[in-house]
Structure 1
């Protein structure tokens, strides 16, 4: 049940506006991390460094990898990229809405501000995405007997030679983790800025 009151409030005191600035900064940081590489791998026999690059919406691979590797090892289902971009758009919309929402929802005997709930859900879901990215990457690496993080070797199907590969988590991965934590923390401390947890 939603409390019957003005659904949106665009004004507010100094505390409200400070919180809004903090939330905008956290949302912008989340958007920044979304476009950063989360993981990359360098295959020794291929010129350059970022031969495989993991983004939240999939993996980019260089031409040589596409020619030599089984696509099933690095491609995601056709629905995956549209799904992740839809998630990102909805998450941004939820954060924008939470800037001005003035409603409460009942979770059993407890009434919580909808804005704080939305912020927490976005933060927790982003943390889940970060965890799933690592889990899926590690699972796929294990399937081909390589390490998701660190040095490993695999057999080149074209030459049957052992090839060295070095893979690392990029700064974008850790930034994404921090962005998720920041949003969860903001949802918990919102009441310090917004009187009675209401915007």
Structure 2
């Protein structure tokens, strides 16, 4: 198993520091599981491409927050950081998986979760930069697609409750059949862990 934590951790630096593309690629591709290094290196370069188009910003950390579906079920949502663009906060979220990814409807669920947990208080007027680096059907390369809250407007409360209820019902059904989740392995303190919809297996 491997994940995209190296490229996720680098994203803030790419958006806030002067860095050549080769440095972003090399930084993402030299750590983590060996099977994941080529994929992280590729993602690092695409993050650099997206950041270069927007400019350089002072980025501010965001701590992960839990979306509570029920007293015993919660999903961690981790957009990692935000920056100020033209006077408006922009919350960053990276979707680095190449395949087996949510479509636009699934991305809208992610955007809704981010909006409900983070676009509040001093960030109530925030926009979203959801960077999707998946590989479109029929293509051999990843595509860089940026979404904002206007592209992925938050779902009505009744719709999001229905979607998450379906997830909870499926969880209960699987649990009733005796399937148990494997214990999480211990993680170094520097790792941010799985985010919404989890880290992928090797592609």
Which bracket does the TM-score occupy, shorter chain normalised? under 0.3
Q: Which has the higher helix share?
A: 1
Q: Which has the higher contact order (CA 8 A, sep 6+)?
A: 1
Name the TM-score, length of structure 2 as normaliser: 0.25
Whose Rg is larger?
1
